[in-house]
């Protein structure tokens, strides 16, 4: 580990192929799987409690614990992918695309999740394999655009098509599941099995297309000195140096928390995403047992998320125009209103005219889904500015470290949230394999899906009000970095610039920009 960056020279500009539309579409199909991965998990708790004989707390603990385990897998896969060219295996099969094709048989094995009657431990092992496979595939996949081209237009084409196909999967998978469940009858285990096998096969085809349509750096293009690595491999293994490298890797991750803007950003991100996970994992239960509608209806409502795709350019315009702090307020306020609307739908059943209720269920769901998509959109548009803030403190660009640590924390909180759902619902008298639930369980489902999520988004909203990052403050920060890079003295800093830099970093200006960076 300590030798991760040794025997690596300056990466040359990629001379290779030009990215064409076909390459971009093939690459983007990989994120049809990446975006759709979470959609299948919406159906799993219902399947396990209705057909596999699991209690609700057992179901959610499987999801929660396995997700937390996968957080560490993400760190391992990231490090392995970066360093695979150090080994003959990687130089033969590649360090990025190999994981796409290797993931296909793993995904097919995980179809065991959808077989009733298996022991609890096997469901855990297979689900853990399913979620670890997602890390194994998507971590190297996300690095491909950087290696395929240095051309701005080429990378823009890749990222744009990727976001499009990821968003489409969020609508196509619930919509397709609704059609299959309606056609085969959702009271049968095989209806879910047919739906999930269909999408699993589609995922495998998409990953094959991504593997076929993309390319990556060769060891030489990546700046790897193969001869030096082979010579080094002949030396005896130094456990002390290896252990030191592992320690440094984890130390680098935790140093990201020194940056004030990152601490606030990651709290907003984790609260928003984790409570959206909670919504997703209880949505089917809410529709089935609180709204007394079939699973196919719940899936059809989720497919309305397609409305958010053409709005993404609008989100981008608002982000640039208003800045993250104001847009977060609009987002969280709108999302909370949408959740209160769902509460109204539940409470107004039987008292409101059915035709009016049916119209409102679509209007309110669409409203909620728009703001749900915005809750995903804003943090990932804030994140690219965070490494700039860190650069002023460290003098380095550590984007990869921030990505890895953020995803690590994301999996931990997602796993904890899943387990918390199960433990709470188990106390409400939730009955497995039931067509209806007792009133206490219905109230518990609503409390989790509406009450918990409102509370989480409200906390994120409060934190977002303190986020100092904006177009103006970022411009001041970048200007100061450029001044220091050009040889400017820290003692000559403008007082207002100094104040902004300290607000963004949370570090005294005198401790920023180490001497080694000058």
85-106 tens-digit pLDDT: 777 777 778 778 888 999 999 9
- Tokens at 83, concatenated: 């360093």
Structure-model confidence comparison of residues 400 and 450, the more confident one: 450
Task: State in words which class domain 25-235 has.
Answer: mainly alpha
Query: What confidence category does residue 226 fall into, taking pLDDT thresholds of 50, 70 and 90?
Result: low
Three-class SS of residue 142? coil
pLDDT computed for residue 383 by the predictor: 81
pLDDT computed for residue 6 by the predictor: 39
Cα gap 127→485, rounded to integer Å: 49
Domain boundaries, the chain: 25-235, 259-469, 473-517
Indicate whether 239 pLDDT > 70: no
Q: Is the pTM of this model over 0.75?
A: yes
Cα torsion 365, 371, 376, 377: sign:
positive
402 contacts 390 by C-beta, under 8 angstroms: yes
Query: What confidence category does residue 236 fall into, taking pLDDT thresholds of 50, 70 and 90?
Result: low
Indicate whether 238 pLDDT > 70: no
pLDDT tens-digit readout, 267-300: 999 999 999 989 988 998 999 999 999 888 988 8
Query: Which residues on neighbouring strands pair with residue 224, listed in sequence order?
Result: 8
pLDDT computed for residue 4 by the predictor: 40
pLDDT tens-digit readout, 164-181: 888 888 888 888 888 998
Length of the chain, please?
518
pLDDT computed for residue 225 by the predictor: 64
114 contacts 197 by C-beta, under 8 angstroms: yes
- Tokens at 453, concatenated: 């999520």
Q: What is the mean pLDDT of residues 27-38?
A: 86
Q: What is the mean pLDDT of residues 328-334?
A: 97
Structure-model confidence comparison of residues 49 and 222, the more confident one: 49
Domains 25-235 and 259-469 share a fold: yes
53, 112, 114, 220, 469 from 181: Cα distances, Å: 20, 19, 15, 51, 46
pLDDT tens-digit readout, 114-134: 999 889 999 999 999 998 888
The CATH H-level (homologous superfamily) assignment of domain 259-469 is MFS general substrate transporter like domains (1.20.1250.20)
Query: What confidence category does residue 500 fall into, taking pLDDT thresholds of 50, 70 and 90?
Result: very high
Structure-model confidence comparison of residues 394 and 399, the more confident one: 394
* Tokens 């009450």, located at residue: 451
Structure-model confidence comparison of residues 236 and 291, the more confident one: 291
Burial class (CB in 10 A: 0-12, 13-18, 19+), 224: buried
Inter-helix orientation angle 239-255/399-427, to 10°: 80
Three-class SS of residue 361? helix
pLDDT computed for residue 3 by the predictor: 39
Indicate whether 503 pLDDT > 80: yes
- Whole-number percent of the chain with pLDDT over 90: 33
Structure-model confidence comparison of residues 13 and 208, the more confident one: 208
- The pLDDT mean for the chain works out to 84
């Amino acid at each position: 580990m300590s030798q991760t960056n040794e025997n690596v020279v300056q990466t040359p500009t990629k001379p290779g192929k030009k990215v064409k539309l076909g390459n971009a579409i093939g690459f983007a199909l990989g994120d049809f799987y990446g975006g759709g991965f979470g959609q299948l998990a919406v159906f799993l708790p219902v399947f396990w409690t209705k057909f596999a004989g699991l209690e609700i707390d057992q179901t959610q603990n499987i999801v929660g614990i396995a997700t937390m385990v996968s957080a560490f897998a993400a760190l391992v896969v990231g490090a392995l992918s970066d360093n695979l060219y150090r080994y003959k295996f990687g130089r033969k099969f590649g360090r990025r695309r190999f994981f796409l094709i290797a993931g296909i048989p793993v995904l097919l094995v995980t179809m065991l999740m959808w077989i009733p009657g298996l022991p609890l431990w096997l469901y855990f092992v297979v689900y853990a394999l399913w979620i670890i496979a997602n890390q194994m595939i998507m971590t190297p996949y996300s690095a491909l655009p950087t290696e395929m081209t240095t051309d701005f237009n080429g990378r823009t084409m890749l990222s744009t098509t990727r976001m499009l196909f990821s968003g489409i999967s969020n609508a196509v998978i619930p919509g397709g599941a609704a059609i299959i469940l309606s056609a085969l009858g959702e009271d049968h285990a095989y209806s879910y099995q047919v739906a999930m096998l269909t999408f699993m096969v589609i995922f495998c085809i998409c990953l094959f297309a991504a593997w076929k349509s993309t390319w990556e750096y060769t060891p030489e293009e990546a700046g790897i000195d193969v001869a030096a690595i082979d010579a080094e491999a002949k030396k005896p293994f130094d456990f002390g140096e290896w252990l030191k490298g592992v320690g440094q890797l984890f130390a680098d991750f935790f140093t990201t928390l020194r940056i004030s803007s990152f601490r606030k950003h990651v709290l907003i991100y984790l609260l928003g995403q984790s409570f959206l996970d909670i919504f997703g994992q209880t949505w089917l239960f809410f529709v089935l047992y609180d709204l007394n509608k079939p699973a196919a209806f719940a899936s059809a409502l989720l497919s309305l998320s397609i409305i958010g795709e053409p709005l993404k350019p609008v989100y981008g315009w608002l982000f640039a125009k208003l800045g993250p702090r104001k847009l977060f307020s609009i987002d969280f306020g709108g999302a909370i209103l949408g959740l209160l609307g769902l509460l109204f739908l539940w409470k107004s059943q039987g008292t409101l005219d059915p035709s009016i209720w049916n119209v409102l269920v679509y209007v309110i769901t669409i409203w909620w889904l728009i703001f749900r998509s915005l809750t995903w959109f804003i943090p990932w548009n804030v994140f690219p500015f965070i490494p700039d803030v860190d650069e002023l403190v460290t003098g380095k660009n550590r984007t990869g470290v921030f990505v890895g640590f953020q995803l690590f924390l994301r999996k931990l909180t997602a796993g904890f949230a899943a387990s918390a759902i199960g433990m709470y619902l188990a106390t409400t008298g939730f009955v497995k394999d039931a067509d209806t639930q007792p009133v206490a369980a219905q109230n518990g489902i609503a409390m989790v899906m509406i009450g918990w999520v409102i509370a989480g988004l409200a906390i994120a909203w409060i934190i977002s009000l303190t986020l100092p990052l904006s177009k103006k403050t970022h411009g001041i920060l970048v200007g100061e970095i450029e001044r220091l890079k050009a040889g400017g003295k820290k003692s000559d800093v403008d007082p207002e610039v100094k104040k902004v830099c300290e607000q963004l970093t949370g570090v005294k200006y005198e401790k920023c920009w180490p001497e080694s960076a000058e």
